[in-house]
Amino acid sequence: MFDLASRDIKYLTGVGPVRAETLNKELNIFSLRDLLYYFPYKYVDRSRIYTISELRGDMPFVQFQAEILSFETAGEGRQRRLIAHVSDGWGVADLVWFQGIKYILQRYKVHQPYLIFGRPTIYGGRIQVAHPDIDPIDDAQKLSLGMQPFYNTTEKMKRLNLNSHAVAKMITTVWQQIHGPLPETLTEELIAKHHLMSLTEALQNIHFPQSADLLRRAQVRLKFEELFYIQLHILRYTRDRQQHYRGFLFGKIGDIFNTFYHQNLPFELTGAQKRVLKEIRRDVGSGRQMNRLLQGDVGSGKTLVALMSMLMALDNGYQACLMAPTEILANQHYETIRQLLFGMEVQVELLTGSIKGKRREAILNGLLQGEVQILIGTHAVIEDTVTFHSLGFVVIDEQHRFGVEQRAKLWRKNVQPPHILVMTATPIPRTLAMTLYGDLDVSVIDELPPGRKPVATLHQFDSHRATLYRSIEKQIAAGRQVYFVFPLIQESEKIDLKNLEEGYLHICEAFPHCTICKVHGKMKPAEKEAEMQRFVSGEAQIMVATTVIEVGVNVPNASVMVIENAERFGLSQLHQLRGRVGRGADQSFCILVTGVKLTEDTRKRIEIMVRTNDGFEIAEADLKLRGPGDLEGTQQSGVAFDLKIADLARDGQILQLAREAAQEIIDLDPNGSLPAHEMLWRQLKQLRKDRPNWGDIS
Ligand code: ADP
Ligand code: MG
CA distance 574 to 608: 11
Query: What integer is the mean pLDDT of 243-255?
Result: 88
CA of 273 relative to ligand 2 center, distance in Å:
14
CA of 424 relative to ligand 1 center, distance in Å:
14
Q: Is 45 helix (H, G, I), strand (E, B) or coil?
A: strand
CA of 588 relative to ligand 1 center, distance in Å:
17
CA of 481 relative to ligand 2 center, distance in Å:
20
Q: Which atom of ligand 1 is nearest to the CA of 296?
A: 3
Identify the CA nearest to 128 among candidates 171, 98, 157, 102. 98
CA distance 407 to 436: 14
Q: Is 443 helix (H, G, I), strand (E, B) or coil?
A: strand
Q: Mean pLDDT for the chain?
A: 86
Q: Which atom of ligand 1 is nearest to the CA of 579?
A: 4
Per-residue pLDDT for 293 more than 90?
A: no
Worst-scoring range by mean pLDDT, 93-107, 424-438, 478-492, 665-679? 424-438
CA-CA-CA-CA torsion for 337, 342, 343, 344, nearest 10 degrees?
A: -10
Q: Which atom of ligand 1 is nearest to the CA of 301?
A: 6
Query: What integer is the mean pLDDT of 407-420?
Result: 78
CA distance 502 to 515: 17
Q: pTM for the full model?
A: 0.63
Question: Among residues of the chain, what percentage have pLDDT more than 90?
Answer: 47
Q: What is the pLDDT of residue 464?
A: 87
Q: What is the pLDDT of residue 450?
A: 85
Beta-carbon neighbour count of residue 512 at 10 Å? Answer: 7
CA distance 344 to 384: 30
Assign 491 a pLDDT band (cuts: 50, 70, 90): very low
**Tens digits of per-residue pLDDT, 63-107?**
899 999 999 998 887 788 999 999 999 999 999 998 888 888 998
Q: What is the pLDDT of residue 331?
A: 84
CA distance 374 to 395: 11
Per-residue pLDDT for 630 more than 60?
A: no
**Tens digits of per-residue pLDDT, 148-188?**
888 988 888 888 888 888 999 999 999 988 888 899 999 99
Q: Which atom of ligand 1 is nearest to the CA of 336?
A: 16
Q: Tell me the C-alpha to C-alpha distance, in Å, between residue 168 and each of 19, 146, 149, 206.
A: 15, 14, 7, 11
Pocket test for ligand 1, best of 260, 264, 265, 267 (most atoms within 8 A of CB): 267
Q: Which residues line ligand 1 (CB under 6 A)?
A: 267, 269-270, 273, 296, 298-304, 425, 449
Query: What integer is the mean pLDDT of 277-287?
Result: 94
CA distance 571 to 426: 11
Q: Tell me the C-alpha to C-alpha distance, in Å, between residue 586 and each of 191, 455, 478.
A: 57, 9, 11
DSSP conformational letter for 240: H
Q: What is the pLDDT of residue 329?
A: 80
Q: What is the pLDDT of residue 280?
A: 97
Q: Which domains does the chain have, with CATH numbers?
A: 48-145 (2.40.50.140), 456-612 (3.40.50.300)
Assign 2 a pLDDT band (cuts: 50, 70, 90): low
Per-residue pLDDT for 514 more than 70?
A: yes
Taking CA atoms only, the protein residue closest to ligand 1 atom 23 is 269
* Ligand (nearest to CA of 398): 2
CA of 301 relative to ligand 1 center, distance in Å:
3
Q: What are the beta bridge partners of residue 72? A: 83
Query: What integer is the mean pLDDT of 311-321?
Result: 97
Q: Is 204 helix (H, G, I), strand (E, B) or coil?
A: helix
Q: What is the pLDDT of residue 337?
A: 95
Task: Give yes or no for a contact between 544 and 463, defined as CB atoms under 8 angstroms apart.
Answer: no
506 Cβ contact partners less than 8 Å away, ≥ 6 residues apart: none
CA of 55 relative to ligand 1 center, distance in Å:
50
Per-residue pLDDT for 695 more than 60?
A: no
Per-residue pLDDT for 351 more than 90?
A: yes
Q: What is the pLDDT of residue 696?
A: 46
Per-residue pLDDT for 534 more than 60?
A: yes
| CB-based burial, 547-565: b 16+ in 10 Å, e otherwise | bbbbbbbbbeebbbbbbbb
